[in-house]
Structure 1
């Protein structure tokens, strides 16, 4: 293991600091925005603009990287992200924050694609599994660690924005000073919605709904916590527990989906997350431990859905189409994360902070209904013909990933060029 990891250690270290910054900034903005009295609609749009910028970056960033090279592009993207977070802390203005957040999303897609392509270039078929697993673990640790930093300083001061800027600066260094050869040019991303639906209607609808639910939750759960009277440190713990619970659930849920119709597992987990959401909506619990327990149940079920839906789609796809299908679903998930916060903000304004979970519950109930309906129309794949389940980045880290990162997945071996 050390022999396989050593050549990409500096890249993985940069990845850790990149996701530390992402985790801190992603939670800091809604908490600070709530303190400043921003409306739920504006707070929701913080997530919408970031996700829209990220999806746009997946399409456009490869063109820029081709023109100026990987190292210059990475340094430029990282510098812009750092400048954006510092300016965000200096000028507390909702319109400025929305614009800066979109630019940050775009640049984050660029930095992530460059790191992932670099890792993919250095990985061999023998080391790919180890590097892929470690990459997922690092994104999880980075996001959670960044979120927990929210509790170490007063969110009403510029200190945490400065800490975030420092993290992004450190993230730039390993790739900038690396002597390794630049990877092959990034490939342009394509999105074939009709082809995705024909391949697996359940995965198409399910991924879109999961994106809507996760986008609404990921952006607005801090707003829910603040308006429910939770301390900023408690909010960070609540969000982190959600991610950890989802990471722990992925293994048993994935193994179960390998042994039975994945659509039933999708329906059961979606029903569980919807139930936890409805309990929060109906009972309005005030006890912090009850809230955290219900949110943990929600996170365990909701964050395990994405990789199962992707595995179900790959059950019906040719092996050489793995990257194409999974990449398309990833971008579809990104579209869902644009829609979710846009819906969640107004709903919370009209019906209160707990109504966030009504939005997620409705999305998950649609997954339940459609999965059951389709299971009556199309037979499941025999167990021996199923794709092997593997943890996927969005489910593990509650962050968007890039199609470039899919090439690190061991299942992609043989479907893309290998050196």
Structure 2
């Protein structure tokens, strides 16, 4: 295992730099924007901008790489991402931050796809599953470390913006140091909603609702924390704990979804999320201990649902179509991510901080209702035809190239991760 990872160390470091910078940049903006007096509506639009850029990056990067190559494209992505961070520091206004955030989303998606393409090219068949598992864990910890680094200083200055820009530049090292041949062309995924819906209506509707809910929380969690009086270090914990809880929860949730009907498991997990949503609404302005406990329960449920949805969709898909189906769902998730932060931001501006969880709760309730209706009208997939549950990174940090890395190149199905 160590021998297979050593040649990939530079690429894993490059991915870690990307996720560290992305985590830091994604949290410093709402924290600083709240301190500058931005409305929740304008801060929600930051998440909308990011999602638009991210989806565009997933769709457009393969064409860009085909024109100018991997190394030039990657260098441009990292450089523009660093410039975008510094521009946010120079021009502190939401009308600059929103389009700049969209640019950051495009560059982040593009740079991640290129690193993953390189990693996919160099991963040996016998260790691909384990490499994907290590890659997932590296990204998880790097993103969390980026968010938690906010506890080390003052968010009102320029330091964290500069650090994020520097780390984006450090991500250039893997391609600069790589002596391997240029990877194959990047994975392209088209969005065919009609085909996805025919494959699994529950998966399409549910992943859209999850996009609304998760992007709303990811964008506005820091704003909620600031408005209920959390300190900067507690806001960083409030944003990081649910990610870690969701990663841990994928283990028991994945076991249950392989053993029982996935739609029932999805409904059960969504019910837990609704309970967490309701507790946040009823608590008003909870104290530090209660709010961190509630957000752990929230994260364990909301961030464990996406892999169940993908597994359910692939149960109904043709063999070898994992990348096409999962990539399509990823783009639907992105569409939900465009809508969610805007709705939640305007709701928080009009009715207060707790309405963040009202918007999220409505998305979860709609998911449950639709899944129950489908349960009553369509039969479950026979156990023998079910694919294996595949734990993975958060949807908002996945790209089509992530899915290619997770799949067996011969069968097109996801690899197991022993």
* TM-score normalised according to structure 2 size: 0.97
What is the aligned partner in structure 2 of residue 276 from structure 1? 276
Q: CA deviation at 1:286?
A: 2.6
Structure 1 residues 163 and 9 mapped into 2: Cα distance closer, same or farther (>3 Å)?
same
Contact 1:125 1:413 in 2 (8 A): no
Q: CA deviation at 1:281?
A: 0.8
What is the aligned partner in structure 2 of residue 136 from structure 1? 136
Separation of aligned partners in 2, 1:6 and 1:251: 27
For the residue of structure 2 that corresponds to 1:319, the secondary structure is coil
Separation of aligned partners in 2, 1:239 and 1:128: 31
Contact 2:34 2:223 in 1 (8 A): yes
What is the aligned partner in structure 2 of residue 247 from structure 1? 247
Q: CA deviation at 1:412?
A: 5.8
The match for 2:406 among 400, 405, 409 is: 409
Separation of aligned partners in 1, 2:241 and 2:185: 38
**108-117 or 169-178, which moves further after superposition?**
169-178
What is the aligned partner in structure 2 of residue 188 from structure 1? 188
- Measured against aligned partners, the alpha-carbon deviations of 1:313-336 in whole angstroms (never above 9, x if no partner) come to 000111211110000001111111
Contact 1:211 1:336 in 2 (8 A): yes
What is the aligned partner in structure 1 of residue 397 from structure 2? 400
Separation of aligned partners in 1, 2:392 and 2:364: 19
- Measured against aligned partners, the alpha-carbon deviations of 1:359-394 in whole angstroms (never above 9, x if no partner) come to 111101111111111111111112221010011322
What is the aligned partner in structure 1 of residue 178 from structure 2? 178
**1:144-155 to 2 correspondence within 5 Å?**
144-155=144-155
**386-395 or 191-200, which moves further after superposition?**
386-395
What is the aligned partner in structure 1 of residue 217 from structure 2? 217
Structure 2 unaligned regions, length at least 5: 414-418
Separation of aligned partners in 1, 2:383 and 2:7: 37
Contact 2:24 2:149 in 1 (8 A): yes
Contact 2:196 2:325 in 1 (8 A): yes
Contact 2:188 2:400 in 1 (8 A): no
What is the aligned partner in structure 1 of residue 5 from structure 2? 5
Contact 1:323 1:412 in 2 (8 A): no
Q: CA deviation at 1:8?
A: 1.4
For the residue of structure 2 that corresponds to 1:258, the secondary structure is helix
- Measured against aligned partners, the alpha-carbon deviations of 1:58-111 in whole angstroms (never above 9, x if no partner) come to 111111111111011101110111111112112212111111111111111110
What is the aligned partner in structure 1 of residue 416 from structure 2? none
What is the aligned partner in structure 2 of residue 32 from structure 1? 32
Contact 1:270 1:302 in 2 (8 A): yes
Contact 1:34 1:226 in 2 (8 A): yes
- Measured against aligned partners, the alpha-carbon deviations of 1:157-208 in whole angstroms (never above 9, x if no partner) come to 0011011111111111122221111101124331110110110111010000
Aligned residues: 413
Contact 1:277 1:361 in 2 (8 A): yes
What is the aligned partner in structure 1 of residue 114 from structure 2? 114
What is the aligned partner in structure 1 of residue 60 from structure 2? 60
Separation of aligned partners in 1, 2:394 and 2:235: 21
Contact 1:406 1:412 in 2 (8 A): no
* TM-score normalised according to structure 1 size: 0.96
CA RMSD in angstroms comes to 1.2
